[in-house]
Structure 1
Amino acid sequence: MESPEKARLDTFFRQITTRFPARDHVTTLVITHLLPERPAFLRAMASTATVGAILPKPRSVDMPTLEAVRRAFVVHDLSRELFADSTRALEFLEATAEDRNVVLVDIGGYFAPCLDTLVEKFSGRVLGVVEDTENGYQRYAALERLPCPIVSVARSPLKDCEDHLVGRSIVFSADALVRARGDILTSRNACVIGFGKIGRAIARTLRAQDLRVTVHDTDPVRSVQAHSEGFRTATSTTEALRDADLVLCATGNLALRQGDFAALRNGAYLASVTSSEDELELGSLSGLYQRTPVGRHLTRYETTGHYFYVLADGGAVNFVHGAAVGTYIHLVQAEILAATSALSQGRLQPGLHDMPTTDRQAIARIWLDHFDR
């Protein structure tokens, strides 16, 4: 990042943290993508709270950025297993933030399995969680009881700009990986599983690039929305997959289970918009399919009479090319900072929360002043 851009970004975040200050003596544990623009956000977080630990998402780490962040913060490895075991999770929290007031900043619901234990047994106080993704929102919403407030930015209007561009970047990366092996997608059949904000952007982008698009969503309202936009809709996963040369999974949940893969047509390309363990049950194919790398970010799965290709090992395919969405990402990062501030006040009740409209409007005004002038 060039010096003038870095200075402008730091000024933007300084205004955000001035508008939404956190209370003193708050520590954050931050799960994050470590992409080139991310240090500015982390510096802003550090200016308003003590950053106890950075936990980078494993498939979205830019190595020079990781090296730079390690010089300024404590960085730990991240895995689902760490927070699936409540005892390990509690030990980790005690080691990084003993006796402190803590806000957990999440991408993907990592803290959900152990949240009860962390809230009840931690020597300090878990003030709440900030969740960035639809997948994470669903993980917290599925809990029988929420022991602390969860502030979600996943469905924020400020995230719409990012989601639209993420959809485009998903299609760009899928197309680039297919072309790298000498194939093209133009005029072929595509299937989008999930017609939320990102799935909708993917479907529209695919159609604009001359693919025939089928949409499948378990929510009948979203299926109607897809139908109203002229997309063919399928009533089952099997029907959706049957003729698709490209399948993009954007449910924010588990889209394809073991029995679904057999419905993929021979030679189909399969990609996800989020972590492979969240969308695709690829682990269940061990012993059933032979897995062979056939190029960078492309793996062939083959069994007798059937084969298909998985892009980027089933992880978010757009991270192969940096997942760039421009300055719109800073709207969401600003709302995360505002949500951290809100949780630091200790006034929110346990349950799911959105940020107030007035706060989102304030963030949007600051963003316009810095990036649209």
Structure 2
Amino acid sequence: MITAVLDGGCRSSAGAGARSAEDVSGQGAYGSNDPYDITDAGLAGAGVRRIEWADRSMPVLRQIRARFTEERPLNGLKIAACMHVTTETAGLIRTLQAGGAQVALAASNPLSTQDDTAAALVEEYGAAVFARAGTDRAGYYRHIHQALAIEPDLVLDDGCDLVNTLHTERTDLLCTVKGGCEETTSGVIRLHQMAREGVLKFPMVAVNDTHTNHMFDNRYGTGQSTLDGIIRATNTLLSGKTIVVAGFGHCGKGVAERARGMGARVVVTEIDPVKALDATLQGFRVLPMDEAARHGEVFITVTGNREVIREEHFAVMKDGAILANSGHFDVEIDVRALAELAVDVHHGIRPQADEYALADGRRLVLLAEGRLVNLAAAEGHPAAVMDMSFADQALTCRWLARSHQDLTATVHRVPAEIDTEVARLKLDSMDIAIDVLSPAQEEYLGSWRMGS
């Protein structure tokens, strides 16, 4: 819940709406005058090679980048972004720059930050990047403040933390922001709540809610990359395992489908009767978590809610059960309750795997500290997936630059023509042709007068 008083007026950063460096719980100065904050500039060469490799699988974004280079639709605009600092994100940043924007980027998750990518963006591509792999909570928010020091016209968020910070700690910047995009389900949920409470001060576009994003990013991207993270962290055989998928939204469907495709027995837990029925009719077993906890060998949360797996579930799980989260925030598995139950914790039994030993001799394995397993233990979505998501982002930024004055301070959908254009460009890049309506067909669909 946003509790800051928002008067809508712009002030200098030293004004009443901005918190001083000393106010941030002893975190120290924001360092807002620093041009960047990365781990090692010497990693830039390796980062460039990785970025160029990912770019090969992002033909849609390459086409948009070429178009932006000619059109310069973002000329003179400043964009602050809080996103995963990965090779795929680098493709988006380069596209925004090609459109004329000045970009400052903070990491949306310290465990997903690729230090070589951050170095390449700074040294080779001239972006202001504030990201270090493994930084603590204080460093995470310091980096958000450093990105906001650009005094942005547009914002790109991945989980709503940057937008939240603007509305609580940097209210002096609110009236300069023309609008922004949100990439995640969790972030969109937070934005809708802000809009309902009447505190959202500029239009935000739910890029997460496009058809292309639900299909490629949520279903195919999360589905594949989640299992990739679990396999990398544990080297376990999924075939024959009972995997419990908590949540049957777009991401949960992708995880469940891919787990079944690898030979797992999949159990789905849900709170929505329609989604539970959908899972049942697709052949998945549906149980409440209280019962599923007794059967599962691998648990994957993808709900966007907190404490989906908690103390009473830990108490009945099988020895060796694996716990993984693929929701945006690290709240879906009650890690604190797990730690309190444990008599010993063996950190790092494998990379991104910690073993919690319980008093009765059972051991539960938590992956990636309960954070996004697909990004912390693997590399996130394949570049081909993010090609479409970031194409949506880039074209939406262009639309916001042109149309922001006509939008109210609430959550908006991406215009349907952008979604369609991205899908068309993707099909073109795959050499796939589709049918076109004939004039007679268009007339028939547009008329109510023709009967049987």
- TM-score, length-scaled by structure 1: 0.86
The offset of 1:176, in angstroms, is: 3.9
In the alignment, the residues of structure 1 paired with residue 55 and residue 248 of structure 2 have an alpha-carbon distance, to the nearest angstrom, of 39
1:361 aligns to 2:416 (yes or no):
no
Alignment equivalent of 1:168, drawn from 208, 224, 234: 224
Q: Secondary structure at the match of 1:122?
A: helix
In the alignment, the residues of structure 1 paired with residue 302 and residue 119 of structure 2 have an alpha-carbon distance, to the nearest angstrom, of 31
1:151 aligns to 2:151 (yes or no):
no
1:298 aligns to 2:357 (yes or no):
no
In the alignment, the residues of structure 2 paired with residue 248 and residue 295 of structure 1 have an alpha-carbon distance, to the nearest angstrom, of 18
Pair 1:18–1:73, CA change in 2 (3 A):
closer
- Contact 1:269/1:310, CA 8 A, preserved across alignment: yes
Written as runs of structure 1 = structure 2, the 5 A alignment for 1:42-191 is: 42-56=93-107, 57-71=109-123, 72-77=126-131, 92=146, 95-97=149-151, 102-117=153-168, 120-122=171-173, 125-143=176-194, 144-145=197-198, 146-159=200-213, 160-166=215-221, 167-179=223-235, 183-191=236-244
In the alignment, the residues of structure 1 paired with residue 427 and residue 245 of structure 2 have an alpha-carbon distance, to the nearest angstrom, of 33
Q: CA RMSD in A?
A: 3.1
In the alignment, the residues of structure 2 paired with residue 16 and residue 240 of structure 1 have an alpha-carbon distance, to the nearest angstrom, of 51
Which one has a larger percent strand, Structure 1 or Structure 2?
A: 1
Q: Secondary structure at the match of 1:242?
A: helix
The offset of 1:81, in angstroms, is: 5.7
In the alignment, the residues of structure 2 paired with residue 3 and residue 192 of structure 1 have an alpha-carbon distance, to the nearest angstrom, of 30
The offset of 1:224, in angstroms, is: 0.8
The offset of 1:354, in angstroms, is: 1.0
The offset of 1:257, in angstroms, is: 4.0
Pair 1:251–1:7, CA change in 2 (3 A):
closer
- Contact 1:25/1:49, CA 8 A, preserved across alignment: yes
Pair 1:147–1:210, CA change in 2 (3 A):
same
Pair 1:133–1:334, CA change in 2 (3 A):
same
The offset of 1:50, in angstroms, is: 3.1
In the alignment, the residues of structure 1 paired with residue 61 and residue 289 of structure 2 have an alpha-carbon distance, to the nearest angstrom, of 46
Residue in 2 that maps onto 1:313:
369
In the alignment, the residues of structure 1 paired with residue 276 and residue 424 of structure 2 have an alpha-carbon distance, to the nearest angstrom, of 35
In the alignment, the residues of structure 2 paired with residue 36 and residue 260 of structure 1 have an alpha-carbon distance, to the nearest angstrom, of 37
For structure 2, the 5+ residue unaligned runs are 1-51, 433-452
Residue in 1 that maps onto 2:319:
266
Residue in 2 that maps onto 1:223:
276
Pair 1:303–1:110, CA change in 2 (3 A):
same
Amino acid at match of 2:167: D
Alignment equivalent of 1:204, drawn from 244, 249, 257: 257
- Contact 2:86/2:113, CA 8 A, preserved across alignment: yes
Residue in 2 that maps onto 1:246:
298
Q: Secondary structure at the match of 1:59?
A: coil
Q: Percent identity?
A: 22
1:194 aligns to 2:194 (yes or no):
no
Q: Secondary structure at the match of 2:186?
A: helix
- Contact 1:192/1:215, CA 8 A, preserved across alignment: yes
Pair 1:91–1:308, CA change in 2 (3 A):
closer
The offset of 1:310, in angstroms, is: 1.1
Amino acid at match of 1:128: G
In the alignment, the residues of structure 1 paired with residue 293 and residue 334 of structure 2 have an alpha-carbon distance, to the nearest angstrom, of 15
- Contact 1:162/1:325, CA 8 A, preserved across alignment: no
The offset of 1:84, in angstroms, is: 11
In the alignment, the residues of structure 1 paired with residue 272 and residue 55 of structure 2 have an alpha-carbon distance, to the nearest angstrom, of 46
- Contact 2:210/2:413, CA 8 A, preserved across alignment: yes
1:333 aligns to 2:390 (yes or no):
yes
Alignment equivalent of 1:40, drawn from 91, 100, 105: 91
In the alignment, the residues of structure 2 paired with residue 162 and residue 296 of structure 1 have an alpha-carbon distance, to the nearest angstrom, of 25
In the alignment, the residues of structure 1 paired with residue 309 and residue 322 of structure 2 have an alpha-carbon distance, to the nearest angstrom, of 14
Q: How many pairs were matched up?
A: 364
Query: Higher mean Cα deviation, 14-23 or 142-151?
Result: 14-23
1:351 aligns to 2:410 (yes or no):
yes
Pair 1:313–1:83, CA change in 2 (3 A):
closer
Q: Secondary structure at the match of 1:277?
A: coil
Amino acid at match of 1:328: V
Which entry has the higher C-alpha Rg, 1 or 2?
Answer: 2
Query: Higher mean Cα deviation, 20-29 or 52-61?
Result: 20-29
- TM-score, length-scaled by structure 2: 0.72
Q: Deviations over 1:286-305 (max 9, x none)?
A: 44423212122211012211
In the alignment, the residues of structure 2 paired with residue 286 and residue 70 of structure 1 have an alpha-carbon distance, to the nearest angstrom, of 39
